């Protein structure tokens, strides 16, 4: 078994270069690779294309990379919680490809499965379908969508072992397993790192074959994106 353990986030991301394409796991602020994002900030790498369900908030998650102008393109589904994202989009500073959430998920899954294209009804007749091939199946129109793959996938798991097997916790699972399969190099940060052989194989969500580097993270804030209170 290959030991894929690295010491920390700085070492894990040290070969991410300018103009790389990254996938970043998470949904809202749940299950995001906080330590990797902090390391990217420190590295100063720029010109990034980021594939993520959303863009974090102004002062956390991918929003931090937007503040420092390290991101030039976002491929996302929902971006409504980030005022800086909105400002850069409207000013033309940031290229944005917005997708229906199911289409985004399936394009990532297809990338991991080696499927270069698929047809979906989502977006037919809308701006989403502009310039895309349309075919009719059984009397219904479908758009041709292409896979998404990345130079690096940055994912966050609850528990992992030194060979890269990962277990996610609750809804923090979200986009992480699909992204782990769709990156040329997948970097996993975990809250708890255990020796190889410690995990029940039946509980593993992402097999270690998909992961090239793993480290134990620290100082997780686990922020809540929106609070709802009852008086």
Task: Give the model's pLDDT for residue 46.
Answer: 97
Render pLDDT for 4-46 as a digit per residue (tens, 0 to 9).
999 999 999 999 999 999 999 999 899 999 999 999 999 999 9
Q: What is the pLDDT of residues 90-144, one digit of tens each?
A: 999 999 999 999 999 999 999 999 999 999 999 999 999 999 999 999 999 999 9
Give the pLDDT of residue 82. 86
Residue 223's pLDDT band (cuts 50, 70, 90)? confident
> Cα angle at 179 between 173 and 181, to 5 degrees?
110
Write b or e for each residue in 170-206: b if 16 or more Cβ atoms lie within 10 A of its Cβ, otherwise e: eebbbbbbbbbbbbebbbbbbbebeebeebeeeebbb
In this predicted structure, the answer to whether residue 197 has a pLDDT above a threshold of 90 is: yes
Tell me the C-alpha distance between 189 and 154, whole Å: 8
**Do the Cβ atoms of 135 and 165 come closer than 8 Å?**
no
Q: Name the CATH superfamily for 9-117+133-216.
A: Glutaconate Coenzyme A-transferase (3.40.1080.10)
Confirm whether pTM is higher than 0.75: yes
Q: Which band of pLDDT confidence, cut at 50, 70 and 90, is reported for residue 80?
A: confident
Asked whether residue 231 carries a pLDDT value surpassing 80, the answer given is: no
Q: pLDDT at position 116, please?
A: 98
- Contact between residue 9 and residue 216 where contact means Cβ atoms under 8 Å apart: no
Dump strand ranges (E) for the chain. Answer: 21-24, 48-51, 71-76, 95-98, 117-120, 134-137, 140-146, 150-161, 166-167, 183-194, 213-216
Distance CA 108, CA 115 (A): 10
Average pLDDT over residues 84-95: 92
- Locate all alpha helices (DSSP H) within 114-230, ordered by sequence: 176-182
Other Cβ atoms closer than 10 A to 228: 5
230 has a pLDDT exceeding 90: no
pLDDT at 195: 97
DSSP code for 27: B
Q: For tokens 């490809």, name the residue.
A: 97
Per cent of the chain over pLDDT 90 is 90
């Amino acid at each position: 078994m290959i030991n894929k353990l690295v010491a920390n986030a700085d070492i894990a991301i040290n070969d991410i270069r300018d103009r790389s394409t990254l996938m970043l796991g998470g949904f809202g602020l749940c299950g995001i690779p906080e330590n990797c994002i902090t390391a990217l900030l420190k590295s100063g790498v720029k010109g990034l294309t980021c594939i993520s369900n959303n863009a974090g908030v102004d002062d956390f998650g991918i929003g931090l990379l937007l503040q420092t102008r390290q991101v030039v393109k976002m491929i996302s589904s929902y971006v409504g919680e980030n005022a800086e994202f909105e400002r850069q989009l409207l000013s033309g500073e940031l290229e944005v490809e917005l997708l229906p959430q199911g289409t985004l998920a399936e394009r990532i899954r297809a990338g991991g499965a080696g499927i270069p294209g698929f047809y979906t009804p989502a977006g037919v007749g809308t701006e989403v379908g502009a310039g895309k091939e349309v075919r009719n199946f059984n009397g219904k129109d479908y758009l041709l969508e292409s896979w998404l793959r990345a130079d690096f996938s940055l994912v966050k798991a609850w528990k992992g072992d030194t060979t890269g097997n990962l277990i996610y916790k609750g809804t923090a699972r979200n986009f992480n397993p699909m992204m782990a399969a769709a990156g040329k190099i997948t970097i996993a940060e975990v809250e708890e790192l255990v020796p190889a052989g410690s995990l029940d194989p039946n509980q593993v969500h992402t097999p270690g074959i998909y992961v090239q580097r793993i480290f134990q993270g620290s100082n997780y804030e686990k922020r809540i994106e929106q609070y709802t209170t009852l008086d």
